[in-house]
């Protein structure tokens, strides 16, 4: 038996195109057994009388099959937009347009964050309609459901469950330092601020961590929330992961991936048309401050015509004394698809009147196909419901696996 095994090992070490399976009685069952790979071939040297049987399959015509796939695993990206108010140019250039580019290279999940939309007073009659409208805009802008999952946040219940579990591990001091909470609560007043506005970042963390996200596209104003997500992932991994989780029957190691921010080089923060120092926002009181994606041609022209400018000659990027000029040039650059250098050269000698006409035409040309496609999608509710249902099913499969691990690691009784 030893002689046969020695000859077999010599053969396997000297034959470059050898694939083999070796199953050898009691010895094989202890050391060499691999379920599902047994092949019955002629016995070499029979039974040696000591209970050792060597069954070898040798192929010299096929290359060895590697144990791991050579196909690279795509990194995962998740992102979403609230269905409050109208989707505007800032949402599009800062988020949705970037998604279209990312979906070809990453495993992507894009959802409508309707649970976040109720942190401040809202119109209950409009929430459902706005949710469907936002989903239709995703698709109209170019999100491809063969490459990305599109779903509604509240349709995957694991978001809320994980938020509660994460809340138990989130120090209140971490939430009290969130800038957005301070700003929004100051505007709304204490009587109108619910607990949800304070715990909003924990829900955002659950949105990200549920899907073991590698990267999260964020604007400058969301970097603080993502940093809290990273800190919370590390905290939960420390408190419940590793050997503690393994003792409870889990796999051990990290429970959550710690995600990294993905900030686009341009367009991450599109500014208001009426104030170049303030972000373009749905909550701004004046509709003149933003270009909505579904604004008709005459409305776009009127808003650009009336937008805030300055008295400096020519057009230029990155002059701190000209925030509006920098913002409008950046919008034109992103809409036209030109480089920053090309736009600077093209517009450097223009006056405001000439440039505004150029920008208006570029916006109308870019948004018109989106508006046409949106109308087609929103008029076919069965198609839209099918997309959202399929997306929620795919998302829930990933989310439920993560949630099950968290429950196990935190010591809950198995369902």
Q: 282 an active-site residue? A: yes
Same domain, 231 and 98: yes
Same domain, 385 and 375: no
Does 61 reside within a domain? Answer: no
Helix (H, G, I), strand (E, B) or coil at 350: coil
Selected catalytic residue, list 75, 147, 184, 340:
184
At 316, phi and psi to the nearest 5? -155, 150
| Tokens at 165, concatenated | 């579990």
Same domain, 234 and 137: yes
d(CA 306, CA 273): 9
Does 192 reside within a domain? Answer: yes
Position 303 scores a pLDDT of 96
Position 180 scores a pLDDT of 74
Position 153 scores a pLDDT of 98
pTM: 0.78
Same domain, 200 and 213: yes
Q: 279 an active-site residue? A: yes
Region of 383 (left: φ > 0; alpha: ψ -120 to 50; beta: rest) is alpha
Position 18 scores a pLDDT of 36
Selected catalytic residue, list 257, 279, 303, 356:
279
Given a contact cutoff of 8 angstroms between Cβ atoms, the answer to whether 80 and 110 are in contact is: yes
Does 32 reside within a domain? Answer: no
CATH value at residue 301: 1.10.240.10
Does 46 reside within a domain? Answer: no
| Tokens at 140, concatenated | 């109209």
* CA angle at 183 for the pair 177 and 188, rounded to the nearest 5°: 125
d(CA 279, CA 235): 32
Q: 338 an active-site residue? A: no
Question: Considering only CA atoms, which of 160, 175, 156 is closest in space to residue 229?
Answer: 175
Q: Residue 261's domain spans which residues?
A: 76-267+381-410
Selected catalytic residue, list 97, 244, 247, 282:
282
d(CA 175, CA 225): 9
- Contacts of residues 288-291 at CB distance under 8 Å and 24 or more positions apart, as own/partner, are 290/86, 290/88, 290/89, 290/90, 291/88, 291/89, 291/363
CATH value at residue 220: 3.40.50.620
Position 176 scores a pLDDT of 86
| Tokens at 151, concatenated | 């779903």
Structural domains counted in the chain: 2
Encode the chain (415 residues) as per-residue pLDDT tens digits. Answer: 445 444 434 444 444 433 333 333 333 433 333 334 333 333 333 444 444 333 443 333 344 444 444 567 899 999 999 998 889 999 998 889 889 989 999 999 999 999 999 988 889 999 999 999 999 999 999 999 999 999 999 999 999 999 999 999 999 999 988 877 777 777 666 666 788 888 999 999 999 999 999 999 876 667 888 999 999 999 999 999 999 999 999 999 999 999 999 876 654 578 999 999 998 988 888 999 999 999 999 999 999 999 999 999 999 999 999 999 999 999 999 999 999 999 999 999 999 999 999 999 999 999 999 999 999 999 999 999 999 999 999 999 999 999 999 999 999 998 8
Cα dist from 137 to 111, 282, 369, 371, whole Å: 12, 16, 11, 8
Same domain, 85 and 209: yes
Same domain, 261 and 393: yes
Same domain, 312 and 396: no
Does 275 reside within a domain? Answer: no
Helix (H, G, I), strand (E, B) or coil at 54: strand
């Amino acid at each position: 038996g030893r002689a046969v095994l020695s000859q077999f090992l010599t053969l396997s070490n000297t034959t470059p195109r050898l694939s083999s399976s070796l199953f050898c009685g009691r010895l094989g069952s202890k050391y060499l057994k691999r379920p599902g790979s047994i092949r019955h071939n002629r016995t070499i040297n029979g039974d040696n009388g000591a209970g050792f049987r060597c069954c070898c399959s040798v192929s010299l015509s096929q290359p060895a099959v590697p144990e791991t796939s050579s196909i690279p695993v795509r990194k995962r990206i998740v992102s979403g937009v609230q269905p409050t108010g109208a989707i505007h140019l800032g949402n599009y250039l800062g988020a949705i347009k970037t998604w279209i580019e990312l979906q070809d290279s990453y495993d992507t999940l894009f959802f409508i964050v309707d649970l976040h939309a109720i942190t401040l007073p809202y119109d209950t009659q409009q929430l459902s309609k706005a949710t469907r409208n936002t989903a239709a805009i995703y698709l109209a802008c170019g999100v491809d459901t063969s490459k990305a999952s599109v779903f509604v946040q509240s349709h995957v219940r694991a978001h809320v469950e994980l938020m509660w579990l994460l809340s138990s591990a989130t120090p209140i001091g971490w939430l009290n330092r969130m800038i957005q909470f301070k700003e929004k609560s100051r505007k709304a007043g204490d009587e109108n601020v619910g607990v949800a506005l304070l715990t909003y970042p924990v829900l955002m963390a659950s949105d990200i961590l549920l899907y073991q996200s590698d990267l999260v596209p964020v604007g400058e104003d969301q970097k603080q929330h993502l940093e809290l997500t990273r800190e919370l992932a590390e905290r939960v991994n420390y408190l419940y992961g590793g050997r503690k989780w393994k003792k409870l029957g889990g796999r051990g190691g990290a429970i959550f991936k710690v995600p990294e921010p993905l900030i686009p080089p341009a367009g991450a923060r599109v500014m208001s048309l009426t104030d170049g120092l303030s972000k373009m926002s749905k909550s701004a009181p004046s509709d003149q401050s933003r270009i909505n994606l579904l604004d008709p041609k005459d409305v776009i022209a009127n808003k650009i015509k009336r937008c805030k400018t300055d008295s400096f000659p020519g057009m230029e990027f990155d002059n701190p004394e000209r925030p509006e000029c920098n913002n409008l040039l950046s919008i034109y650059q992103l809409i036209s698809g030109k480089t920053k250098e090309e736009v600077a050269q093209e517009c450097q000698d223009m006056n405001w009147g000439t440039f505004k006409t150029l920008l208006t035409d570029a916006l109308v040309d870019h948004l018109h196909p989106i508006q046409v496609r949106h109308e087609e999608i929103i008029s076919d509710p069965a198609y839209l419901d099918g997309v959202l249902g399929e997306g929620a099913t795919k998302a829930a499969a990933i989310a439920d696996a993560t949630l099950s691990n968290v429950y196990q690691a935190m010591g809950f009784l198995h369902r």
